[in-house]
Structure 1
Amino acid sequence: MKVLSIQSAVAHGHVGNSAAVFPLQRIGVDVVPVYTVNFSNHTGYGAWRGPLIPPADVAEILLGVQERGVFPQIDAVLSGYQGGVGIGDVIIDAVRRVKEANPAALYACDPVMGNAKSGCFVAPEIPELLRDRVVPVADIITPNQFELGFLTGTEPASIESTLASVDLARAMGPSVVLVTSVERPDRDAGVIEMLAVDDAGAWLVSTPHLPFKANGSGDVTAALFTAHYVETRDAAVALERTASSVFDLIEMTYRSGERELRLVAAQEFYAAPRMQFSAERVR
């Protein structure tokens, strides 16, 4: 499997491609990483150094990759945080050209906007860009519950209302939706959930909720789910593998006391997921 991953990069820590590439490689995926920024660290520190890569330069890199004859080999395009409208246009164009070269390729978009606690933390034009132009060309999207609500103009809470919101999102274009950070009011105490939906049905998985915010964990989640889905075309299996790996990664990080993901130390959890969580069919 070969994945074209168009995302940010940081020297210290693990977000964007600096979070997604190694776990993908560890499960045997050949990754073609294209960077949209090259920062010293993620912006959660409040200060960072390094450049935003101009969209025209990102487009040039993608053109060079295409000229090497790589696009027909791409099984999936993966994108995450989008810093501006310009880079969105570049990603949309790259997806179009990859699919022209390989019609079986899938596009997985993590529509990063914000979360329920912090609200939106992207530029004001990004949510509309994602909703109106990017999501409609995606095959897989991986929003959290807050982002799903913005995309669909709803307020998902219960399983029923979240499923209804997913149906609206799927009507926009994507056939596969992974909803992360599902926090329904009637869930068991001390757990957090993920919901995966495709044409075959809907599945929910619950994991213990750790009192810890790990920057980059969403990027790992989107990457692993995409790869497992492309391999198996089974949303339940992809969900179980992803939940297993990501929980163990976050738990290892939490127990270490470190701020940054223990991405390398946790590598066996990607290569051989413990499959300690079972997905429950909810539709």
Structure 2
Amino acid sequence: MAATRSASASASAQKSAPVSVGNRLAVRSGSPLKTTSTLNRREPVEPAGRTANKINTFLLLVLHFVVVGICRQQISFVILSEHDYTMNFAGYPTFKGQVLNGDQLWDLIEGLEANNLLYYTHLLTGYIGSVSFLNTVLRVVNKLRSVNPGLTYVCDPVLGDEGKLYVAEELVSVYREKVVPIASMLTPNQFEAELLTKSRIVSEQDGREACNIIHAAGPSKVVITSINVEGELLLIGSHQKEKGQPPEQFRIPIPKIPAYFTGTGDLMTALLLGWSNKYPDNLGKAAELSVSSVQALLVRTVEDYTRAGHDCQSSSLEIRLIQSQDDIRNPEIKYRAEIRGN
């Protein structure tokens, strides 16, 4: 989970300050971020386990957000986080580290509140593995919106992929009934969209109808980040600018890359948050930039592994973030949104 302050946040919210939260330290960077030329196992300059919060934090820093990260799996390497990182993450066969429960998360929030640090412009959540923690996230959203009613909550409802759940089945109903209604933007994959809408997606039209169901539940912006239908890999986007009005919908065809990567969902959601903040009324533009960044990063990753003599189809590849900062900050748009009828 990452809470962000855009670079235009109030001066009182921009003082650089180390904030003690229990026995951890949250570091806030104060002034608008300046960057120079903003998801590894075999790359010594990047520590292993750069996933979820690590990806989100890095990307949003590059896109000029001030970030405070709170992640459930304490893998403690992250710079802007309250965690004790090991060198692993839950995607590897073996991982270590503490797991925050809901009460511990709330303790962190109370620590931020005690230091008058609850004004945030955006909240981003990804993988959450327990009902306790997810229910506390709901409390966090309400708490943050009591301070800033305009808080944008971007939710990547990580439930599973390709017909397989990653989490306990009981979380599905909590997402569907409690989380979706309060989200500003939802970024499910095909399987997750099916679970949340209780529908099957076997065509592009099915994907757009699933977006309509999600709009009716709450979020004004929906991006189904990948669907495999009719021989194509597509991103489906939908923006309902006014409740009750037909949404603006589009698709972006995405080339298939014969490799498996760690962290593409986290990467896409963080980019969508960042670019949607710059283009709040043009989700298609935000998606074009996000897809173009992701594809550039994946191509660079494959090239890097291939040069090292690695078989890119033999195991999951960890995305080359550090080398790809220009593609994050200023991507060349190669993938265009195709407007679709409602």
User: What's the TM-score once normalised by structure 2's chain length?
Assistant: 0.75
- Alignment match, 2:140: 94
* Alignment deviations for residues 79-102 of structure 1 (CA, whole Å, 9 cap, x no partner): 011110111112111111111111
Q: Which sits farther off after the overlay, 138-147 or 36-45?
A: 36-45
Instruction: After TM superposition, give the deviation of residue 277 of structure 1 in Å.
Output: 1.2
Matched, 1:241 2:280: no
- Alignment match, 1:131: 176
The answer (yes or no) to whether the contact 1:158–1:186 under 8 Å persists in 2 is no
- Alignment match, 1:22: 58
State the one-letter code of the partner of 1:248.
Answer: A
* Alignment deviations for residues 190-239 of structure 1 (CA, whole Å, 9 cap, x no partner): xx221111125011112211012211110111111012112211201110
The answer (yes or no) to whether the contact 1:34–1:62 under 8 Å persists in 2 is no
Instruction: State the distance in 1 between where 2:165 and 2:286 align.
Output: 28
Instruction: State the distance in 2 between where 1:231 and 1:99 align.
Output: 21
Structure 1 residues without counterparts, runs of 5 or longer: 5-10
User: What's the TM-score once normalised by structure 1's chain length?
Assistant: 0.90
Q: Of the candidates 195, 198, 212, which is equivalent to residue 167 of structure 1?
A: 212
Q: Of the candidates 88, 99, 107, which is equivalent to residue 41 of structure 1?
A: 88
Matched, 1:3 2:4: yes
The answer (yes or no) to whether the contact 1:76–1:230 under 8 Å persists in 2 is no
The answer (yes or no) to whether the contact 1:249–1:266 under 8 Å persists in 2 is yes
Q: Of the candidates 127, 131, 134, which is equivalent to residue 81 of structure 1?
A: 127
Instruction: State the distance in 2 between where 1:186 and 1:271 align.
Output: 31
Instruction: State the distance in 1 between where 2:94 and 2:339 align.
Output: 44
Q: Of the candidates 212, 217, 224, which is equivalent to residue 264 of structure 2?
A: 217
- Alignment match, 2:36: none
Give the count of matched residue pairs.
Answer: 270
State the one-letter code of the partner of 1:21.
Answer: T
- Alignment match, 2:193: 148
- Alignment match, 1:114: 160
Instruction: State the distance in 2 between where 1:70 and 1:177 align.
Output: 29
Q: Which sits farther off after the overlay, 139-148 or 155-164?
A: 155-164
Instruction: After TM superposition, give the deviation of residue 112 of structure 1 in Å.
Output: 0.5
The answer (yes or no) to whether the contact 1:202–1:282 under 8 Å persists in 2 is yes
Instruction: After TM superposition, give the deviation of residue 124 of structure 1 in Å.
Output: 2.3
Of structures 1 and 2, the larger Rg is shown by 2
The answer (yes or no) to whether the contact 1:27–1:271 under 8 Å persists in 2 is yes
Q: Which sits farther off after the overlay, 249-258 or 218-227?
A: 249-258
Structure 2 residues without counterparts, runs of 5 or longer: 6-46, 76-86, 241-246, 311-316
The answer (yes or no) to whether the contact 1:36–1:55 under 8 Å persists in 2 is no
Give the helix-richer structure, 1 or 2.
1
